[in-house]
Amino acid sequence: MPWDTSDYPSSLKNLDTPVRKKAIDIANAMLNEGYPEDRAIPIATEQAKEWYENATNKEINKLINSSDQQLRSPDNNTSSARPELLEKGEHVVPHDDQWAVMSQDAKQASNIYQYKRDAIDRAKEIAKNKGTQVTIHRQDGSIQNTLQY
């Protein structure tokens, strides 16, 4: 049974409301994809915290105002969770005049930085959390280096 704001894992009870709702949203999406609860909960919690750090006020307010039905729905349009990307490596790629951090096969960058070093540091942090790899690209798109975590 999917979780909502009145029925969710006790490990989420101390999270701020928007982080808890996002964690419920992500965990429900992961369960729908076949992840076991004991794996979905910690991953969803970590991803929700990361989302909150990078979310705009508009995104946060949209989530706060979402209904329990939207959180329980596997077709939920408010979810940016793509659990299949949790096992994919991170890439540091050129993005206009900046550097982007993207999961392999992602539709858009998770972070964009002015400096390549900052993008690499963020990609390493994400890859360490997921136990995947970082592929660092040069300005021309070729691979410069690969780091395994």
Q: How many CB atoms lie within 10 A of CB 22?
A: 31
CA distance 102 to 89: 8
- What band does 136 get if pLDDT is binned at 50, 70 and 90? very high
Q: What is the pTM of this model?
A: 0.50
Q: Are 66 and 78 in contact (CB under 8 A)?
A: yes
Domain limits of the chain? 10-81, 88-148
Tens of pLDDT, residue by residue over 53-101, are: 888 898 888 888 877 776 666 554 333 455 566 678 999 999 999 999 9
